[in-house]
Structure 1
């Protein structure tokens, strides 16, 4: 069973271990608890105290902690030791500098992302009037990828396609949530605040899976190497942004699960309130853990992609991209 994320959203809490359970307390009273074995990662958004015994138990159980600002920016992390499969990591590092190996993979990440964008636009227009017009720039971008000679050209094509895509997405939302372009740090509108939080949360999910497979999350194949950037996790996330986060955010807005009052203005940015974050993460967990019939939970799909890439790096199999067909994605709610 895929392990879940443990969120700490309230200030003044204490996280401790009691036997085989994690307990979150506030003012001496149990606030929340769950079995330690069910936890895959912990995201801390508030001021909390973590006992030394608890921290030791988390490291023994290979559970990473991420400390995150409410804006979605990562402040720091505590990771279990990862000192095995050194030869795999050496092979991964060499692959980054081997364009013959890395560029086809880099192109495939973005090609798949563009096709997933196209699927979302087809869904929004329900294959009716105007569908071809809004999808054509995305398809044109996908066709130009084969001519790219380096990562910069690939990312340039992706950037232009993304600007077009988000203009369309932003115009299809209800009035308080409409936007014309992406804004990251700071987020300038409610939808961008939700997208930023969603992407950051998904990135930490993927990073945890990457490191569990003994890969180096900071050495990617598409994204440039940069201090503090989990480039390989970002590479893999390109295929998941649309089906996991964009669609999730749009549905949360359209169903009224997230409302304008769940945001507050602070200086030049827009932040999500405590209640808004609580709702967001409750919905997110429902989505990530959901299994319909024989369909795998979404966390299992992430792990499958990391495993597929690992097999590709080792020369044992060919990487299989995660491309949605919208009818299938609907099964995940």
Structure 2
């Protein structure tokens, strides 16, 4: 199954005899059987015809609409799964303070562990680079988060957990910047607007990751708005953000390090927008999606077996379902490098 990205501005997506066509000015840019499409992501000014929408929905293909800067505008989703019992259990666990705190703590411990793994792997491969300060601070954060008392008012406990995670991420990104072998103005992690090409790539990668996991959660009958770590906010898919945390370093950060250090992306692939932010050009976006798909499908070795990241995403959604249905401890993904 394929993920179709449409970034050609002014293009039209239409249906023709069981296929999805992407055309512009009479030129056929893409033709793919609908049965081979898993998801579609549309960027910027692209027209989707009504017959194409109907065909995609009937085939169970979700369509995400994003700005050219990678901001998710909205989604079209086919009818979701009907597992009402999972949703009932999810709401029950959300009301269970002990379960929420236990799950939030497990997610953040895994995130900080993955940060440490990436730093340690790079330090082993590049002994000339001193990452000891970043690793010491991340290790300290792991010890601190382990010592957090799980008994207490939920906002207070999660506030403490997020505070520790914030300090760990600050130290980690200090080391991350030193791992980059291309000068692109990266100093620290900043979100909107991205002030440099590295932050631009990270933000786009996290958007892709969040969108994919949100779609997967809905396909499995979860309510993506009810998270255990991230608080409820109008329109925010907090549960997707929860699961994204354990995959930030294994997926997006490693991808950005690899592509930048191999000079796949250079400064000329970016442009400054009127909001002051730095974003990929249209050609840069195409290259990003090509490389991202290769990377996601290539995956990583887990317990001696190669798995695509999409399989790992699905594994973790099923793991969360197990934890919720059995009122058990959630086991996040931890990378072994």
TM-score normalised according to structure 1 size: 0.92
Matches within 5 A, 1:310-321: 310-315=321-326, 319-321=330-332
The alpha-carbon deviation at position 316 of structure 1 amounts to 7.8
Equivalence for 2:91: 93
The alpha-carbon deviation at position 148 of structure 1 amounts to 4.9
- Change over 3 Å in CA distance of 1:148–1:275 after alignment to 2: farther
Tell me, what secondary structure is at the counterpart of 2:194? coil
Equivalence for 1:275: 283
- Change over 3 Å in CA distance of 1:133–1:183 after alignment to 2: closer
Equivalenced residue count is: 324
2:237 pairs with 1:230: yes
Matches within 5 A, 1:83-162: 84-126=82-124, 128=127, 130-146=130-146, 147-149=148-150, 150-162=157-169
For structure 2, the residue ranges without an aligned partner over 5 or more in a row are: 151-156
Contact 1:107 1:145 in 2 (8 A): yes
Equivalence for 1:200: 207
Distance in structure 1 (CA, Å) of the matches to 2:158 and 2:330: 19
- Change over 3 Å in CA distance of 1:131–1:264 after alignment to 2: closer
Distance in structure 1 (CA, Å) of the matches to 2:187 and 2:131: 19
Distance in structure 2 (CA, Å) of the matches to 1:303 and 1:213: 9
Contact 1:23 1:30 in 2 (8 A): yes
Distance in structure 2 (CA, Å) of the matches to 1:86 and 1:118: 38
Tell me, what secondary structure is at the counterpart of 1:229? coil
2:183 pairs with 1:181: no
For structure 1, the residue ranges without an aligned partner over 5 or more in a row are: 327-333
TM-score normalised according to structure 2 size: 0.91
The alpha-carbon deviation at position 48 of structure 1 amounts to 1.5
Matches within 5 A, 1:21-32: 21-32=19-30
Distance in structure 1 (CA, Å) of the matches to 2:62 and 2:81: 15
Out of 244-253 and 137-146, give the one that drifted further: 137-146
The alpha-carbon deviation at position 18 of structure 1 amounts to 2.2
- Change over 3 Å in CA distance of 1:151–1:103 after alignment to 2: same
Please list the CA deviations of residues 157-189 of structure 1 after superposition, one character each: whole Å capped at 9, or x if unmatched: 111111111111113323532412111110000
Please list the CA deviations of residues 83-127 of structure 1 after superposition, one character each: whole Å capped at 9, or x if unmatched: 612221122122122111111111111101101100111122117
Contact 2:179 2:257 in 1 (8 A): no
- Change over 3 Å in CA distance of 1:84–1:276 after alignment to 2: same
2:216 pairs with 1:216: no
